Amino acid sequence: MGYPNKPHLKETIVLSQHFGDADARTFKGWTKRGGYEALSQAFKMTPVEVIEVVKESGLRGRGGAGFPTGLKWSFMPKEKKKPHYLCVNADESEPGTFKDREIMRWTPHALLEGTAIAAHAIQAEIAYIYIRGEFTEPWTIMEKALAEANAANVFGKIKIVLHRGAGAYICGEETALMNSIEGKRGNPRIKPPFPAAAGLFGMPTTINNVETLTAVPHILKRGAAWYKGLCLSNPKSTGTKLFSVCGHVQRPGNYEVTMGFPLKDLLYEMCGGVPAGRTLKACIPGGSSVPILNREETERTLLDYEGCVAAGSMLGSGGVIVFDDSTDMVYQIMRLARFYAHESCAQCTQCREGTAWTTKIMERILAGQGKMQDLDLLLDLSENMTGKTICVLSDSCAAPVVSGIKKFKNEFEDYITGRRKPVMVA
């Protein structure tokens, strides 16, 4: 963990090197630390050359889906007939995730540099950085950094625009984010057309996560082979990843580790394990939208895209939420369902009605009024909410419910049979 503590020895410090170093926030301080060298290097390369390097590095999207970044960039039209746009998704709203916030707080220029390189690679003249509305401090810092960088004229013809969100979780979905920038209601769009064909303002658009783009300058400077070498398990997952650990651990925070690092070591060694006298019960490895892992699964999970899937979950955004044995899993799952019910954009029937219904059933179980058949009903509703809607918000609500019932059924049954005292649900 970087700021406010010293990094752990087992961390691989790339993106988080300057966390806690206020001088790195300034343009002068950043250039002193080698900043914007990669950008000048990129400007000397053709867009195709930049894309090839990123492809070769194996960098994959850090926002959740893990799509290969170079491949995504290569989908943009080679021959430019319309304006191209780059969108940077800094609407980090996934519960349990707080890595992009730290990147923007401490190394705003790293993001700006990565943004400019990506814009060059996809031949975009304008890049929008869509920053979560609640991120007041990162916003101020990014604004200042952008002003400094513009004053130094480092971006050439590329214009970077900061756009502030208004507090909707769904605006972190790529097409909803584009609607939001366009001034429309932040509703996800049906695909196709995919953003590379018709994205922001109907023009070819690429959208990348903050952490993804922040890794790009390092790849250009140190080479694709170096980045590719940062791999402890599956060669399809390369580089480093920031994990935001929160919940029942002694030292919560952001940890940067090489892909394939064991989750067990992250939790027990780096984060100091669960509070004394308690034991690990469950863990969500990739933000609230991914299936919950039980203790046994947690302890064998390797932190990369394939490793998390093998353990029955997903790497997602890298927001690690840790639950010890004092946790009421039924309550936690109700809280998650309630979050999704609150944030559903209301377009798709399954999501609009299903998230709210799921929440009502969960609340009733907690109130001691559940029935055994409610569990089957929850599973059936979750099935009906999965893979049938425009975006994955509906699926995200179903994932913790299904994995929760599967892995912690006894806790549900305790509420239903009255073995456990009802909880007042506010």
Partner 1 sequence: MPDQLINLIVDGVPVSVAPGTLVIEAAKQAGVLVPHYCYHPGLPVAGVCRMCLVEIEKAPKLQIACATTVTEGMVVKTQSAPAKDARKSVLEFLLINHPLDCPICDQAGECELQDFVFQEGRSGTRYGEYAKRFNPVEDFGPDVLYVPNRCILCTRCVRFMDDVAQEPVLNVSERGDRAYIGIHPEARLNHPWAGNVVDLCPVGSLLSKDFLHKARAWELDKTASICTGCSQGCSVTLDTRDEVVVRVRPRPNLDVNRYFICDHGRANYRWMNRGDRIEAPLVRRDGELHATDWDEAFARVLGILRGASGKAVALVSPGASTEALDLARRLLSAFEWTGAFQVVMGEEAPLPGVPNLALRAERAPNAKGAEQLGYTRDYAAAVKAAASAAVVLVLDDPDCPVETAGALIYAGTVLPPETACRAAQVVLPIANVAEEEGTFVNRDGRAQKYFQAKPAPGMARPAAWVLGELAAALGVAEAPR
Minimal distance, residue 202 CB to partner 1, in Å:
13
Minimal distance, residue 336 CB to partner 1, in Å:
14
The shares of helix, strand and coil residues in the chain, as percent rounded to the nearest 5, are 45, 15, 40
Minimal distance, residue 292 CB to partner 1, in Å:
23
Taking the C-alpha atoms of residue 423 and residue 312, their distance in angstroms, rounded to an integer, is: 30
Quick one: 193 or 418, whose CB is closer to partner 1? 193
Quick one: 204 or 354, whose CB is closer to partner 1? 354
Quick one: 100 or 374, whose CB is closer to partner 1? 374
Instruction: For residue 68, report the phi and psi dihedrals to the nearest 5 degrees.
Output: -55, 125
Instruction: For residue 87, report the phi and psi dihedrals to the nearest 5 degrees.
Output: -110, 135
Minimal distance, residue 61 CB to partner 1, in Å:
19
Minimal distance, residue 391 CB to partner 1, in Å:
11
Quick one: 215 or 375, whose CB is closer to partner 1? 375
Q: Parallel, antiparallel, or unpaired: how do β-strands 261-262 and 293-294 relate?
A: unpaired
Quick one: 102 or 173, whose CB is closer to partner 1? 173
Upstream peptide bond of 188 is cis (omega within 30 degrees of 0): no
Residue among 212, 175, 204, 165 at smallest CA distance from 85: 204
Quick one: 259 or 390, whose CB is closer to partner 1? 390
Taking the C-alpha atoms of residue 205 and residue 174, their distance in angstroms, rounded to an integer, is: 10
Taking the C-alpha atoms of residue 178 and residue 201, their distance in angstroms, rounded to an integer, is: 8
Minimal distance, residue 162 CB to partner 1, in Å:
25
51: Cβ–Cβ under 8 A, 6 or more apart, which residues?
70, 73, 74, 121
Give residues in contact with partner 1 (CB under 8 A).
168, 170, 185, 190, 341-350, 352-357, 360, 377, 384, 387-390
